Every structure is written in structure tokens, then in C-alpha cells.
Amino acid sequence: MWRYGGSVRRFLRILLLLTTGCACPRLDALPVRDPDRLAAPGQRADIRAALGDFLSWTGGTGVCIPAVDVVSETRLDGALGRWDGEGRPLLVQGGHARAYGTVVHELCHAWDEGAGNESDWHAELFPPEDVADVEVYDTRKLRIRESFARACEDGPLDLRLRDDWASRCGLETREPGARWVGETVYAVERPSPLAEALGGERHPLDAILGGLRVLDAVAGGGPVWLLAMRPRPFHPLQPPRVYHVVLALDPADGTVVGTAMLRRDPEARSRFRLVGGEPGPLLVEDAEAGMFFSPLGTDGRPGAPLQLPPESLRWDGAARVGDFVWMTGVDAVAPDGLATLELASGRVAPARLDPPLPEWRTVFGHVSWTPDGDVLAGGFTERLGAGVLRVEPESGSWTALPLPDGAEAGRLGGLPDGRVAVPAALWTGEHKVRVLAAVGPEDALGVAEGCEADRIAGGVRFLPQPDALWIFEDASGADGVAHGRWLTRVGSRP
């Protein structure tokens, strides 16, 4: 939200200089004031993060704000945030979980005014009719400026990835207004230098797997591991059984280095899963007699199991790090966060994170591990939207990385240099392009080589190794018949 027009900008700057005797402070040095203690836990940190990010994205040029004040909803007339023009503090509603995006939005207004309300001259890029709440933005100019701020508030992350796609694949991927914001406000670089590090060799696996249907693929202990099923007997005279096969593959060439067969009567209704990680993966059997966690030997055969009561544990994603299995979706213990299973005792407990997750942050879906021994989990935050939670298991300390629009946080993979790979999809007109993106602590992005719609298939599973990240790609048609399975190296240590 924005109140004052550009006509008072010079007067307010002179008044600020006369009253303070100094120029506009750097954004990362602004005081965040909360005299009435209205901020929610973590809200002040999100405000500071937004200020620091905007400074790094833009250099802060033309933005003149003396402070950020956390205020009551009544002072804002129901708005989430407001900036009343140069020299005035930026106001944010206390307890507002989306403070990060609100601050960036208001900083975009401040940038626009500092540039002489440049958006006024680009109504074709920021159509006023896109802003429906005409009672708040009651003039055409205010609606143009609000349209600009809404295009600007996402920051450069998505813009940079889409520029990378466009330059590498010859695609038109962004609206003209978003392109103008990327080039003018954020000076997005393209193509990303990260793109060159994501290509690699590809091993076809159809000849090895034959008619097997792959259920899961993980890494750990050196090989990559596949859990597959052959839902019919080898010979017509054999009794009807379901055959589960564990295959250990050498990632260097895709050859089989170990195999084991698990025969179960279909009436027993046993279900199998693999949990990847170090020092080696686990085979999980959920049967009527109990739930069994068995380490896999180098030959693919399961070892002595940890037995839990039947149906005692349900989870969405899991990864092993040392003597613990980290899990999401354990509703009985940690419905919105991470839980751990201690393999020595079978004890399940909420993961101890330092600091605890803010109440508006949730973890979901996939869990992975990195070559450095960290845990990766997809999640959602009001500040970042879809993101990656990276946890150091011993201390519980964590950091969060944002993911670009179109990223599919249900699959994550740690690259050896600290970046996180994720499948991503983007609609370009009537076509959907699927690629592999990578994000790092400094918002560096890139895509894998190749721009075909099926280059990175929907059924990908990430297989981290100390020197590279491998993925298992499983392309299947609507009838469920596999027609392309590959083991692909997608990143190596520089």
C-alpha cells in the first residue's frame, strides 16, 4: 500500500536532512522498532531479512526509509503494511506472518518513488485494471504503482531462473512487466554461470531392469539402490507370489553389484520401502507381524531388523543419518515438523531444532541427506513460500533456502558444493517444460542441459554421492508401462 505521490519526495528529503543531519541510512542498518511488543516470534528477523535481501538485490539506490515500525492493525486501517512516502517509516502489522513479503512490497513502492515514479510511464506493463480494489487505490496512477509493486515483490529469484530457461531453451517465459522489473529493478544476470555445472552422462537401465517395476530408489553406503517388483511368478507352475527385488548399482556405470529377492505371499500384505542415507540404506517392511527396519548389506540382503509394533509409524518422507532416521508427516509426534527414529531403541520423538521452527513454518513430503551429512526437507513458510530446510543433525541448527516458482519441493537432492537440486516446471504458453534447477545460499540458480518436455521426468529420485548427485529417472506412460529409465549424473564437485 502507498499513500503519498511523488510530488512531495524532494520536500521530504530536504526535511529529513534538516532534522537528522544525515543521508538515508542503509537498509540493513535500519532500526526495527516494536515499542508495544506486537511482533510475532520471528517477525522482526523476517523484516530484517527482507531489508537485507532488497539491499543486496538492488543496492538500495533511491530508497529512503528511516525505520520500520511494528504497529497495530487499527493504525494501518486493516492493511498488512504501509509506506507513506520518503522520510516516513515503513509500517508493518504486528503478528503478521507474511511480514517478509509485505516489507519487500513496500520497498518496491519506495524504489519506484525514488526513481521518479517510473512505473507511471509503463501502464502497458503494469495495467491498472489488474488492481481490483479501487476503493483503496482510487486513482489510475495509484493502481499502476500498485500493479508494479505486485510484480516486483517476488524478488529476483524466479526472474533469474526464468531468464536462464529463456536463454538456454529459446523460450518466452515471462510477462513483459516481470521482465522489466528483472532488468530495471534487480538487474538480473543471465545466463546463470551455475548452468554449466549441471550436465552429465546418462546410463540407460531398461536392459538391466527388464519387466521390473521400480518402486523406490535411494543411495547410501556407496551404491545406489532400487526396490523393484515382479508381480507374477517366473514359471506357470510356481505358486502365485509377489517378488520384490533389491538391486545395488554402481553409479559410475550402472552395473549391478548386488541383488536380493524377497518373496512374500500376496495375502500377507507386506509393504516395502527403502530409506536412503549413511552409513547405509534401510529396507522397511510393514507387515501384519510388525514393522521391520533392516540394514542392507553390500550384497543387497537385509540384516538383523529393528522391530516395531504393526502400524505403529506412518511417515511421508525419511532419510537416515547415522543412528537416526529423520521423518516428515509423523502426525502423532510432529505433524508440522521433523521427527526422528532412534534405530538403537525404536524411540520416535520430535526432532530438536535450534531455534525451534516458527509457528507458521511447516515441513512436508520428501526428506533427503547430503554428502556432508545434513538433512534436507521440503517445507513452506509465509516468508519464503516453498523452500528447503537444511538441518545440521548434531546441533539441530538449520537454515532455509527459497525455491523458485514452479519448483517441486517433493524431491530434493544435495549437490557436493552445498547447493540443492530440485525438479521444476514452467508453463510457456500452452507447453510445460520440466527441467532440473539448483539453488544455493546466495540464490544462484541454473538448469540442467536439455529443454525437452521429458528431459527430467516426473518420477525422479535423487541419489547423493560424495563426488556428484545422481538421479534415477523413470518415465512411464498413462498405462503405467515404463518406457525410459536412466541413471544420470547431474552435478560434480568443481
Q: Quick one: pLDDT at residue 267?
A: 63
pTM above threshold 0.75: no
- The structural domains of the chain, with segments of one domain joined by +, span 6-153, 158-191, 200-210+286-294+303-492
What pLDDT score was predicted for residue 350?
93
pLDDT < 70: residue spans in the chain = 1-23, 157-174, 188-200, 231-242, 263-269, 359-360, 381-385, 405, 426-435, 441-459, 475-483, 491-494
Give the pLDDT score at 388: 87
Task: Supply the pLDDT for residue 20.
Answer: 39
Q: What is the pLDDT of residue 192?
A: 44
- The C-alpha angle with vertex 492 and arms to 490 and 494, in degrees rounded to 5, equals 140
Q: What is the pLDDT of residue 148?
A: 95
What pLDDT is attached to residue 494? 41
